[in-house]
Structure 1
Amino acid sequence: MKRKVTLMLSLLIIVQVSCKKDVSDLDILAETITIDGTLYTTVAIGTKTWTASNYNGVGGVNYKDGVNDPFLGKLYSWPEIKAIANLPKGWRIPTEADVKSLMTLVGTKVDLTQTYTDATSCAKLISTTGWTNVLYTGLNTTKLNLHPTGYLSISALGTKTFSDKGIRASFWTSTTVQSGGKYLPLLFEISTSSVDARNQPAGLRGGIYSTTANGDGVTTMLAEKRSLRFVKDN
C-alpha cells in the first residue's frame, strides 16, 4: 500500500512539473498580439510594451507599390491610422508622451528644448540590418527593431514619390500640434541622412517632428504615408 501511495505522489509531481512547463511556454507565446488577424511580436521597454514590427493591416501602400513585405509592413496616411478601430484592449497608437518616454529610456535628454536622440541612443532602437550606410547599423538592444522603411510623399497633383528606404525609419504618433491654423501630426524619425533640414548634425540622429507637408488640416495629413507601431502600458 505504501508503495502504491509513493507511486501516486510521484505521478502527481510529474504532472505538476509538466503543467508548470506549459505555463512557461504560454508566457513566451503571450509576447505577441493579434491585430486585424495579423500576429505581431511585442517587446516590453520600461513601463510600456511596443509592437516590434510595423503595422501591415488593411489600407496603406507597399514601398514603391511593390510586393508586400510582412517584415517592413506598409506605409499609411495619418487619416488611415486614425481610422483604425477595434485594437486589442489597452493598445493604442503612440502619443508624443509615449515616444518621449522611449527616448528617455535609451539615454536621451528630453525637455522643452531638446527632443533629439543621438547616435548612441538611436542604435539601441534600430534594426541591425537594412541600413544603407553600414557605419550606422543599429544594435537593436531594445529589440524594438525600427527598420528604415522610408516614406511616401504625395504632391498636390497626386504625384507619388517614395524616398529614403535604407536611410530613414519613421512612424506616426497620434499627437497633433497647431501651426498657422493647421493641425499637423507628429512623427518619430531616425535617419542616417547626411543633410538634415532640421539643423541636426550629420550622421545617425532621431527626434520628434511635425510633418513638413503643405496644405490645410486635411490635405496635409493625406500628403505623407509612413510606418506605424502600437503601444500599451504594462
Structure 2
Amino acid sequence: MKSTKIFTLLLPLALLTGVLGGCKEDGAAPANPTTNPPTTDPEPLPNTPFTTIPNELVGTWFAAHNAEPLTTNWEKGTFQGEQGYREFRTMVFTKDGKNAQEYTSQVYINGDETKQYLSKVTGTLEYKTTPASLIFHAQAGTVRVFSNKYSGYKESPIIRKDIDAYISVLYGPQATTFPTATNFLDAQRADGTNHFSVRYQKVSGTDAPPTNPDGLYTSPPATGPYVKVGSLYYPTVVIGTQEWMSVNYAGDGGIKVNTKPHYGTFLKFADLNTIPVPAGWRIPTKDDYVKLLASQGLVMSSWESTDGSDLESKRRLGKLMATTGWLKQDGYATNSSGFTAVPANMQAVNGTPNGEGANCLLWTAERNAEDNPVAFKIIQLPSDSFAAFGPYPVGYNPAHLPVRLVRDK
C-alpha cells in the first residue's frame, strides 16, 4: 500500500485555509465574491514558471476511475470522493501553460462529523524534456468544505503558505490522440522520491490543437522532393522505381512520444484509413517493401526474412537504416538509400513494449491468412540484423505502429 501522503497532498491546504465563510445551499449558485469580499487585500499572484506543452496533453483530464470530472462537481456545487487512497483529481492543461487548473477532493471523519474537501488550484505548467515531466506550479486556490453537520458547503481561499507547498508533477506523460475513441494520459506521479502509476481520461469536447510534434513538417523542406499529407509536408526519397516518405507519418491520431517527435504517430491498424492519403500515394503493401529491399540487393527467403547472419546482407540492410538511434553500433547503418528507418518500435495503450533502439516496425496495408495486420520489420539483434514481415494481432490492447507512404515513379 502506498504512503498516505500520496493522496493527501491537499491535506494541509484543507486544514489550514483559515476561517471558512459563506455557507452555500444545495442547488444555489456559488458565492459571489462581490457580495462576500475578503477581509484583507488579496496577495499578488507569484511569477511561477510556464512553458508551452505538447498538443496531445492539452485538455481536461480526470482520474480514469472517477465517475466524472471534478470540474462538473465544482460547477454543480456537488461533491465526489471517498476516504482512503484512491486519487480523485481533474487537471485542465492549457497550451500556453498559463491559467491551468487542478481539482482534488478528500474525505475526513472526526467523531460523528464527516467533512468533504473539494479544492480548486490555479497555476502554470512547465514542460521539461529531460527527463520528460510536466510540473504544475500553484498560484492561488479555493477550497469548499461539505459536512453532514450543515447543508451546502463553506468556501474560502487557500492560504499562501499552503499554495507555496503544493506539489504536482507528472513524469513521462504520454497521451493518446484518437480521433473517435476515448483518449488516456498515462504517467508516473511523484510521491517524494517514489513514483506511482496514474491514468487519466480525457473529457470529451476538450480536444487539443492538431497534433504536430515540435512543429515538424509545417513547411516544405528547403531542398529535395516532398509530399503534402493533410497540412504537413514530408520529405521524400526516390529509391529504385518507388518514391517513399523518408520520415514517419506524424499527423493527428494515435500515440506520440513527446521527446522523440521524429518517431511520428503510432497508429492502430484500424486507424490507417483516417490518413488523408494524397492521390497516387498509398500505404505500402508487402510487395512494396520487397521491392525496397531488392533495390539494395536484398532477397527474402520463403520464411519472409532476409539472412540476418550474413555479413553482406547486414551491410546492405544498413543502407535503409538511420545513422543514429540504433543500439548496436556496428557501423552498418549508413542510410545511403535515404530511407532513414528509425528504431521506434511500437506503442500500446496499456504497457510499454520493449524494443526501442532495436526494432523498426512499419505498417503494411495487408492482413495475413488469419486476418491479422502485417508489419514490415527491421530487427537488430546482438548478433543478427534482418528484415522480415510479421503479424500483430488486434486483441484487447492492439499494437500501435508508425507508417510510411509510397508511390510508383
TM (normalized to structure 2)? 0.42
Query: What residue ranges of structure 1 are gaps of 5+ in the alignment?
Result: 1-27, 195-201
Aligned match of 1:20: none
Residues in 1 aligned to 2:226 and 2:394: alpha-carbon distance in whole angstroms? 38
Aligned match of 2:400: 225
1:208 and 2:402 equivalent?
no
Residues in 1 aligned to 2:248 and 2:394: alpha-carbon distance in whole angstroms? 26
1:142 and 2:337 equivalent?
yes
Aligned match of 1:191: 379
The offset of 1:175, in angstroms, is: 1.0
Corresponding residue SS for 2:280: coil
Q: Deviations over 1:35-72 (max 9, x none)?
A: 11111100001111000000100101123xxx264322
Q: Contact 1:77/1:226 (CA < 8 Å) preserved in 2?
A: yes
Amino acid at match of 1:186: V
Aligned match of 1:14: none
Selected match of 2:273 from 82, 85, 97? 82
Relative to structure 1, the CA distance from residue 136 to residue 152 in structure 2 (aligned partners, 3 Å threshold; closer, same or farther) is farther
Aligned match of 1:16: none
Amino acid at match of 1:140: N
Corresponding residue SS for 1:50: strand
Aligned match of 1:3: none
Selected match of 2:359 from 163, 168, 191? 168
Residues in 1 aligned to 2:329 and 2:301: alpha-carbon distance in whole angstroms? 31
1:151 and 2:346 equivalent?
yes
Aligned match of 1:95: 285
Amino acid at match of 2:295: L
Aligned match of 1:121: 316
Q: Contact 1:68/1:74 (CA < 8 Å) preserved in 2?
A: no
The offset of 1:121, in angstroms, is: 2.3
Corresponding residue SS for 2:340: coil
The offset of 1:120, in angstroms, is: 1.9
Residues in 2 aligned to 1:55 and 1:76: alpha-carbon distance in whole angstroms? 10
Relative to structure 1, the CA distance from residue 30 to residue 107 in structure 2 (aligned partners, 3 Å threshold; closer, same or farther) is closer
Q: Deviations over 1:190-225 (max 9, x none)?
A: 12134xxxxxxx3222211222x463xxx5xx6101
Corresponding residue SS for 1:134: coil
Larger of the two Rg values belongs to structure = 2
The offset of 1:30, in angstroms, is: 6.0
Q: Report matched runs for 1:14-93 at 5 Å.
A: 29=223, 31-63=225-257, 67=258, 69-85=260-276, 87-93=277-283
Amino acid at match of 2:369: Q
TM (normalized to structure 1)? 0.71
Q: Report matched runs for 1:172-183 at 5 Å.
A: 172-179=363-370, 183=371
Residues in 1 aligned to 2:224 and 2:279: alpha-carbon distance in whole angstroms? 14
Relative to structure 1, the CA distance from residue 90 to residue 169 in structure 2 (aligned partners, 3 Å threshold; closer, same or farther) is same
Corresponding residue SS for 2:243: strand
Q: Contact 1:127/1:137 (CA < 8 Å) preserved in 2?
A: no
Q: Which has the higher contact order (CA 8 A, sep 6+)?
A: 1
Q: Contact 1:152/1:163 (CA < 8 Å) preserved in 2?
A: no
- State the Cα RMSD in Å: 2.3
The offset of 1:114, in angstroms, is: 4.6
The size of the alignment, in residue pairs, is 184
The offset of 1:139, in angstroms, is: 0.7
Residues in 2 aligned to 1:30 and 1:132: alpha-carbon distance in whole angstroms? 29
The offset of 1:83, in angstroms, is: 2.9
Query: Quick check: which one's strand share is greater?
Result: 2
Residues in 2 aligned to 1:132 and 1:79: alpha-carbon distance in whole angstroms? 30
Q: Contact 1:129/1:137 (CA < 8 Å) preserved in 2?
A: no
**Comparing 99-108 and 135-144, the one that deviates more:** 135-144
Aligned residues with identical type, % of pairs: 24
Corresponding residue SS for 1:170: strand
Relative to structure 1, the CA distance from residue 114 to residue 225 in structure 2 (aligned partners, 3 Å threshold; closer, same or farther) is closer
The offset of 1:111, in angstroms, is: 5.6
Amino acid at match of 2:357: G
Query: What residue ranges of structure 2 are gaps of 5+ in the alignment?
Result: 1-221, 308-312
Relative to structure 1, the CA distance from residue 83 to residue 119 in structure 2 (aligned partners, 3 Å threshold; closer, same or farther) is same
